[in-house]
Amino acid sequence: MRTTADRGRIYRRCGCRDTLRHQLGTHCPHLLTDGHHGTWTFAVDVPAPRHHRTTVRRGGFVSHDAAEVALRKFLEGEAGGFNADPNQTVDDYLTAWLAAKALVLKPTTMARYRDYVHNDLAPTFGTLKLDELGHRHIAAFVTGELAAGRGKITLYRCLATLSSALGDAVRQHRLAHNPASPPALHRPPSPERRIWTADEAVRFLQHCHHTDPDMADLFEFLIGTGMRKGEALGLHWDDVHLRERVLYVRCTLSAIDNNHLVITSPKTRTSKSWVAISPRVATALQHRARSRARPHSDPSDPFTGLVFCGPDGRPLRPHTVLDRLRQLSQEAGVPRVTVHDLRHLAATITITAGVPLTVVSKTLRHSTLSTTANIYSHLTQQAAREAVDTIDHTLARAQKRNDRRAWLERLRPPRDHIQHLREALNRLRSPVPSAFNTMANQPQSGRATTLRPPALRARKRPPSHG
């Protein structure tokens, strides 16, 4: 038996048994004569509740060095506050991970994680040791699920849950790397959405006002503000300020397992913000204020004072709103959409109208501008058409400028021709030597002499008679 420098001990033992079928353990005589007999084990005392100590033993290591590395990792995990047991299974780790995440995640997210762990991950990888889980196991799981007809989006979310859990193990130095990264299945492309046009939205709203005025107020509110479904259903009258034409998004209504309703915080940190109210939305809210039910309820009830609720004052279930939307859409003769598509409609109308993308991002309360650009820029066909038309007009104007410049260059004389013209002009401006100028420069005699050109003197010479 060997003792490590700080804590724990490492020894060799075997599974041989005596005549009474009792294991010999460290007392087997073959351990002294055969250096390859048995396996190595480490043991360490760890604190336990009520000031007791318990001994943790882990064996099956092929060498002393392997047992020492496992012991060191176990002690490092204990010092860091997490379990670094080399024999820990994937099931045990995922169970402990869910218990830790329950303290920080929203109930709806926890419900989805719990379903993936209990229904998919634990039955598939639960018996494997966490240190033995590799990318090949995950790839085989993906191949089998796709062959069985599992949806890619659901399977991708399941693998994202596993990757998140294993990523925490890497950050805690429990694992050297994440076996689920890179992912065995890439994110599937988002399906193409059918967004209403402005005419279709008006036709739908007009039908709602005649058929179901209460639901019409809710759909007017969703389209006019671009708020999420849960934010609208979780809005309280205390957060609405009609006189100032603003409201504050403080909470959201969520359904756990499509059954249990809870009031939780909004989706992101930037979702908690002020939202402006248009005159059309203010009219819908005023109608809700006049027709809202006022049942006697407990003030401590989080569902008290909801803006959009049923006749009894209880919250509207998200699936009820979706079913009603589809029914009214069919009656109005408009395409079938989801409740979240009304948020896309609000973004599409504003972007098509020329509102800057930064303003749209702030209105929708996205965490980053890139989120707005990635989600909504491809939904605005009119904006995309105007963008390519702008490119075409800009290139056409530049081409016209270039053509005009080339035409002016063709009209302009060449440089050598201009030089010849300048030399000729200089010759005309300079004095030219002639007989007239020569005679004018000769010295004069006593009498005056009139100088005339030779041609003129010849014409005045008297004619000859002989």
pLDDT digits (tens, 9 = 90+) for 12-30: 888 888 888 888 888 888 8
Q: Same structural domain for residues 316 and 376?
A: yes
In a domain, 429, yes or no: no
Whether 287 and 154 map to the same domain: the answer is no
* Phi, psi (deg, nearest 5) at residue 447: -95, 160
Could you tell me the pLDDT band of residue 4, with boundaries at 50, 70 and 90? low
Q: How far apart are CA 454 and CA 458, in angstroms?
A: 6
Q: What is the pLDDT of residue 431?
A: 63
* Average pLDDT value for residue range 305-325: 90
Domain C-terminal end among 364, 381, 398: 381
The winner for highest mean pLDDT among 169-183, 355-369, 374-388 is: 169-183
Residues 240, 150 share a domain: no
- The verdict on residue 181 lying in a domain is no
Average pLDDT over the chain reads: 83
Q: In the predicted model, what is the mean pLDDT of residues 421-448?
A: 61
Q: Choose one of 37, 60, 80: the last residue of a domain.
A: 80
The verdict on residue 20 lying in a domain is yes
The verdict on residue 269 lying in a domain is: yes
pLDDT given for residue 222 in this prediction:
95
- Within this chain, do residues 305 and 211 fall inside the same structural domain, yes or no? yes
Average pLDDT over residues 269-275: 88
Is residue 461 predicted with pLDDT exceeding 60?
Answer: no
More confident call, 364 vs 2:
364
- List Cβ<8 Å contacts ≥24 apart for 211-219: 211/328, 211/331, 212/324, 212/328, 213/287, 213/291, 214/288, 214/291, 215/321, 215/324, 215/325, 215/328, 216/284, 217/284, 217/285, 217/287, 217/288, 217/308, 218/284, 218/308, 218/316, 218/321, 219/325, 219/342
Neighbours of 307 (CB within 10 A): 22
Predicted pLDDT at 231: 93
CA angle 375, 377, 379 (to 5 degrees): 85
Both tokens of residue 253? 């209504």
More confident residue, 220 or 385: 220
Q: Which residue has the higher pLDDT, 51 or 20?
A: 20
Where does the pLDDT of residue 427 fall: very low under 50, low under 70, confident under 90, or very high at 90 and above?
confident
Assess contact for 265 and 253: CB atoms under 8 A: no
Q: What angle do CA 322, 324, 328 make, to 5 degrees?
A: 120
Structure tokens at 105: 């995640």
Residues 229 and 376 in one domain: yes
Flag whether 257 is in a domain: yes
Please give the angle made by the CA atoms of 123, 70 and 94, to the nearest 5 degrees. Answer: 25
Say which DSSP state 239 is in: G
Q: Is residue 400 part of a domain?
A: no
Better-scored residue on pLDDT, 383 or 77:
77
Same domain, 217 and 296: yes
Per-residue confidence at 257, pLDDT binned at 50, 70, 90?
Answer: confident
Q: What's the average model confidence in pLDDT over 352-371?
A: 83
Average pLDDT over residues 400-411: 78
Looking at the structure, do residues 150 and 227 belong to the same domain, yes or no? no
For residues 383-405, give the mean pLDDT: 80
Q: Which helix (H) or strand (E) holds 48?
A: strand 39-48
Same domain, residue pair 144 and 234:
no
**Is the predicted pLDDT of residue 434 greater than 70, yes or no?**
no
Check residues 58 and 208 and name the one with the higher pLDDT.
Answer: 208
Which of 201-215, 355-369, 427-441, 443-457 is least confident?
A: 443-457
Nearest by Cα to 255 from 315, 312, 183, 174: 315
Domain boundary among 326, 355, 381: 381
Question: Out of 78-92, 198-212, 353-367, 418-432, which region has the weakest mean confidence (pLDDT)?
Answer: 418-432
Among 134-143, 322-331, 405-414, the range scoring the smallest mean pLDDT is: 405-414
pLDDT score at 123: 95
Mean pLDDT of 50-55: 73
Q: Is residue 445 domain-resident?
A: no
Give the structural domain span for 66.
2-80
Task: Give kind and range of the element (H or E) at residue 246.
Answer: strand 246-248
- Do 231 and 353 lie in a common domain? yes
Instruction: Say if residue 167 is in the same domain as residue 265.
Output: no
Nearest to 43 by CA among 54, 60, 31, 55: 55
Give 228's pLDDT tier (boundaries 50, 70, 90): very high
Q: Which residue has the higher pLDDT, 147 or 421?
A: 147
Same domain for 222 and 336:
yes
Question: Considering the domain boundaries, does residue 31 fall inside one?
Answer: yes
Same domain, 252 and 350: yes
207-235: average pLDDT: 93
pLDDT at position 402: 85
In the chain, the number of structural domains is: 3
pLDDT tens digits for range 95-116: 999 999 988 888 888 999 999 9
Q: Is the pLDDT of residue 1 over 60?
A: no
If one compares 144 and 454, the residue with the highest pLDDT of the two is 144
Distance CA 6, CA 416 (A): 95
**Average of pLDDT values for 427-446?**
57
32-48 pLDDT per residue, tens = 888 888 888 888 887 77
Identify any residues that bridge with 42 across adjacent strands, giving them in sequence order.
10, 58
Please check whether residue 353 is in contact with residue 225, taking contact to mean a CB–CB distance below 8 angstroms. no
Between residues 16 and 420, which one has the greater pLDDT? 16
CATH number at residue 151: 1.10.150.130
- The predicted structure's pLDDT at residue 51: 66
Please say whether the beta carbons of 435 and 454 come within 8 A.
yes
Q: pLDDT tens-digit profile of 261-270?
A: 988 888 888 8
